[in-house]
Every structure is written in structure tokens, then in C-alpha cells.
Amino acid sequence: MPIIVNLDVMMAKRKMSLNELSEKVDLTLSNLSILKTGKAKAIRFTTLEAICYVLDCQPGDILEFREERKITKR
């Protein structure tokens, strides 16, 4: 998937545990874990806003686009 979730990187920079972030953004631990591992299919803007507020970061610090390069056989 070309969208990379760097939530764990931002949490480490802020020295914040998943439990602490979960409490501060009022998300269940399991939903936050799904997002952190990149298994989420979507994120609400309100959730992204809350995470950015608590971690004092921008959405681009958490979400990254990496274009997948397809290798074709010749």
C-alpha cells in the first residue's frame, strides 16, 4: 500500500505510549493499534486532528505517500 503510517515514529519522538495516546485522543487501544500498524483502511479527519493535537505535529508527519514501483519482466 502506498500510504505509510508513521504514528509509531511520532509517538517515539514524543516519548508517548500507545496507552497514553489512546487515553488522550479518546480512541480504543485496538483502533489505535490498527492505525499504528498500517492496517486501517481509513481515518476520520477528527481522529487525525486529535492525534496531531496531542502529538503536536502535522498530518504529513503521520501519513506518508510512497509510490510503488512496478517491476515488469522483459
- The reported pLDDT for the residue numbered 46 is 97
- Mean pLDDT across the stretch 16-35? 96
List, in order of start, the domains of the chain with CATH numbers.
3-65 (1.10.260.40)
Count helices and strands (H / E) in the chain.
Answer: 5, 2
- The backbone torsions φ and ψ at residue 4, rounded to the nearest 5 degrees and listed phi first, read -105, 135
Question: What is the pTM assigned to this prediction?
Answer: 0.85
* pLDDT grade for 67, boundaries at 50, 70 and 90: confident
